[in-house]
Structure 1
Amino acid sequence: MASSVPGYAETAMSADSNTKHRGGGWITFPFMIVTLLGLTIASWGWLLNLIVYLIEEFNVKSIAAAQISNIVSGCICMVPAIAAVSADSFFGTIPVISVSAFISLMGLTLLTLTASLDSLRPQPCETASSLCQSPSKIQLGVLYTAITLASIGTGGTRFTLATAGANQYEKTKDQGSFFNWFFFTSYLAGAISSTAIVYTEDNISWTFGFALCVAANLFSFLVFISGKRFYKHDKPSGSPFTSLLRVIIAAIVKRKAVVSTNKKDYHSESTVIPTERLRFFNRAALKQGDEVKPEGIHNPWRLCSVEQVEDFKAVIRIIPLALAIIFLSTPIAMQLSLIVLQGLVMDRRLGPHFKIPAGSVQVITLLSTCLFIIVNDRFLYPFYQKLTGKFLTPLQRVGTGHVFNILSMAVTAIVEAKRLKIVENGHLLESSSVADMSVLWLFPPLVIVGIGEAFHFPGNVALCYQEFPESMRSTATSITSVVIGICFYTSTGLIDLIQRTTAWLPDDINHGRVDNVYWVLVIGGVLNLGYFLVCSWVYKYRNLKDDDHEQEVSVSLSSS
């Protein structure tokens, strides 16, 4: 895999000689990617099948198991923000990843023990009986400790590893290429876990399946540690959020001051002058009276530097785009849930002896994303650059993802309408409520949504990483994970709202109108795309550069 990365073969030897001086470069790529692959296989391997494990091995009721899984999934998406703040403010990315990987290893080891030791599980339910022994407090304590450690470790490595990898490169183009490979590897690992690991847990044994996760985690941990001498280690400079708060307070304190156009009136650590956008906050860097002493000492809560003010503006300006990302990801989360329900009432037979598990249908999205990340990185993006003389900007990639997402929802609605028509005409498989319609009809919309994710997920991470202040880069890449966590809950809430206000989502979807749900998502997607286009039109890039020409690029999605 590493040999196919642009510039890897040519730069690896030169990078090796330079690591003695500054570290980083493409020589770090194999260590980062192998670490990501193993850790993702390990984390998805237990998380994807957690509901089944709780029901079968701990006698947890199905609804309670789903609620536990929801909480765990949401927390895993939120933990990266805490890890990012820790990396940016105190420890740096490399130590945070090392500690998180070790914590994950401890959690998975403990989880494996719950599967292998009978004393750590309740007795199985009696055959043909509804009476089941509940787990003891000690058993639940060990289980929840294992899940907590595994969740913290998973969340602590997920997007911090993206930042650490991108920090190894100087050029924006190389950073963007790494983000593409980061997502490709993540989706590939997800596909491996959702097939091989889950199959092992279901058909061989939970102990062996979890042991495979432990082995993958341990291998990744050792690989990451062995590459430490090659890495470029980022140096944290204290909490960046303190600096942001100082800008707000200083601007409010001096809110009555007249904003000057003379750069000499501002406190600057270099030749940077304040921009005209969000001019109110320029007051935070405005020098008044004797705020700056002859020896250079000043109150940081009353006078900030121009650089701090511009960093604050960069964070504020990206918030509207982040809202668009939330409204983009929520329909995807809903689709992946509803697709499983659709798959359950469609013909999943492939030949006389094999039946596709409904939960495995989502693998199509993962594989599609993997494939098109490669296509984009190796063919589409270079072709676009050769054709136009410019590289595809992060906002253009995200916007393209919006379009594919809307198209996927529309195709899924059409497929569901066709399925409901077949049910209405009575074309069902014998003695069942399953429509005489192959589940393969769901593959095209899943492929389309995978293509969209190949555009917008790497684009979102690259945008935040490049545009956020350098001191907040770990925080920037964790935003995507936080957004996914938010969407996980918003999609659940939206489904609940639709169930309460319409008859479209009954327990038996053969008597509902899931196609109408998708058309609502299409309308919402179109409105969100319009909102995103407006935001991207007014947005001006702060750090984006064409490394081939070393020229500033300020094109937005609307200029494509």
Structure 2
Amino acid sequence: MDSSTNSKLKPVVDQEEAQEKPGRERGGWITLPFIAGSMLGLGLAVNGTTNNLLVYLLKEYNVESIDAAQIANVARGSLNLVPVAGAVLADSYLGSFPVILAGAVINLLAFVFFTLTAALPSLRPPHCTSSSTVGCQHGSPGQLAVLYAAILLLAIGTGGTRFNIATMGADQFASTHEQDTFFNWYFVFLYGSFIVGDTAIVYIQDGVSWAVGFGVCLAASTFSLVMLLLGARYYRMPVTKGSPYTDLARVVVAAVRKGSVQVDAHGGVRYNVGDGAFVTSGSDGAPSKTLRYVGSWLFPEQETFYLWIG
């Protein structure tokens, strides 16, 4: 290789090394306190609120029991469904940290709304002393709009944080052993936050006041956001590689567009049949015009199935 070729390749290599070097300097166990603190704050606030949402609707908004149960179920279902979209967005396009940061900010705004609904009497219907909600005044459209906005923001914010915190934490470690250890600690902190949320937060909301309870959730979500930002200088942030669904869609589109092409008109077609072996169209081993299972080969880490499509 001559010197001119070396001069052309050198900037590319240097650029790749420059991109990899910051990744090697970041990450590791120094990021665990920040990730764990962020996760603890969010888990405590979100779990404590969602588990007591039904009671809040019944006691403070005089919602019928059936309607309150439906609202609470929709809220819980959204908290489990929206994170799937958040995970796809983070893995394929934006990266974990930006999505988690946006989710933490939205969660903070949600708890601002919840705290306002509990602290300001104008945002709730008058308290009903009757044991039944029959005859009690229900929330006005404006009051319910603030409440539903808080629930919606909580679902969206949790969608950005719930699964992606685990992904970002695993990205901080290069070895599988360290990732396994991180996940052990991840579940310790996760379920620890659930226990505190289900007991302490619920007790404060029911036994002290809803305003204080939601205020504690607001403080916990603020702490979560602060911890997340404090650790930003230490996080390893891998570059996203795009969505695999985009490539799948391209394959389908190409297959449809070229479905009528007569490949034999351009000469024989070679088919890879596995183990580095090839066959040519027209021979005995070439794929037929039917779809059938032809076998499987076991590899050390996975099992690959080969289908012939003719």
TM-score computed with the length of structure 2 as normaliser? 0.76
SS in 2 for 1:228: coil
Task: Look up the match of 1:75.
Answer: 78
SS at match of 1:229: coil
* TM norm structure 1: 0.43
2:272 alignment partner AA: S
User: SS in structure 2 opposite 1:230?
Assistant: coil
Q: Report the Cα offset of residue 245 of structure 1.
A: 2.6
SS of residue in 1 equivalent to 2:135: coil
Preserved CA contact (<8 Å) 1:80 1:155: yes
Residues 55 and 540 of structure 1, relative CA distance in 2, 3 Å threshold: farther
Which amino acid letter does the alignment assign opposite residue 161 of structure 1? Answer: I
Note the alpha carbon deviations across 1:53-110, whole angstroms, 9 max, x for none: 0000000111111111111111111111111121122211001000100000000111
Deviation at 1:128, TM superposition (A): 5.8
Equivalence for 1:58: 61
Distance in 1, Cα, partners of 2:79 & 2:131: 37
1:99-138 correspondence to structure 2 within 5 Å: 99-127=102-130, 130-138=134-142
Number of the residue aligned with 1:182: 186
Secondary structure of the residue aligned to 1:201 is helix
Query: Are positions 1:215 and 2:222 aligned together?
Result: no
Match for 1:260 among 256, 269, 272? Answer: 272
What does residue range 370-409 of structure 1 map to in structure 2 within 5 Å?
A: none
Equivalence for 2:201: 197
Aligned to 2:5: none
**Paired residues for 1:2-13 under 5 Å:** none
Structure number with higher relative contact order (C-alpha < 8 Å, ≥ 6 residues apart): 2
CA–CA distance in 1 between the matches of 2:251 and 2:205? 53
List gaps (5 residues or longer) in structure 1: 1-17, 266-279, 281-537, 543-560
**CA drift at 1:20:** 7.8
The letter of the residue matching 2:94 is F
Q: Which amino acid aligns with 2:168?
A: A
Question: Which residue in 1 is equivalent to 2:301?
Answer: 541
Matched letter for residue 260 of structure 1 = N
Aligned length: 257
Could you tell me how far 1:224 is from its partner in structure 2? 0.6
CA contact (8 A) 1:105 1:217 kept: yes
Equivalents in 2 of 1:240, 1:22: separation in Å?
29
- In structure 2, stretches of 5+ residues that fail to align are 1-20, 264-268, 279-290, 292-297, 303-310
Shift of 1:244: 2.7
Alpha-carbon distance in 2 for matches of 1:235, 1:20: 10
Larger radius of gyration: 2
Distance 2:97 2:250 in 1: 28
What is the RMSD computed on CA atoms of the aligned residues? 2.8
Partners of 1:88 and 1:240 within 8 A in 2: no
Deviation, structure 1 residue 22: 3.6
**How far apart are residue 259 of structure 1 and its match?**
3.1
Aligned partner of residue 126 in structure 2, secondary structure: coil
